[in-house]
Amino acid sequence: MTKGKKQDSDMREEYDFSEGVRGKYAERFAQGSNVVVLDPDVANVFPDSESVNKALRALAEIARQSNVKTHRE
């Protein structure tokens, strides 16, 4: 514990942050991310996030095309 600083009760003496990098993930965090929790039955259909994104892009394209057809009539 450094002089003049109050020790955090959750921190233990054996934690060693001497080689830690401050702000290591700050840029990635600042870019933002959207976390969506899928129900287990839906998650079982998709092996990874890439396949979920691909399916959603296809669905979005179908919705756009459907919307364009609706407005043309």
| Sequence spans of domains, the chain | 39-72
Task: Mark 50-62 as b/e (b = at least 16 C-beta within 10 Å).
Answer: eebeeeeeeeeee
Q: pLDDT tens digits for the chain (73 residues)?
A: 455 556 557 878 888 888 999 999 888 887 877 788 999 999 999 999 999 999 999 999 999 998 877 766 5
Helix (H/G/I), strand (E/B), else coil: 71: helix
Cα angle 73, 58, 69 (rounded to 5 degrees) comes to 5
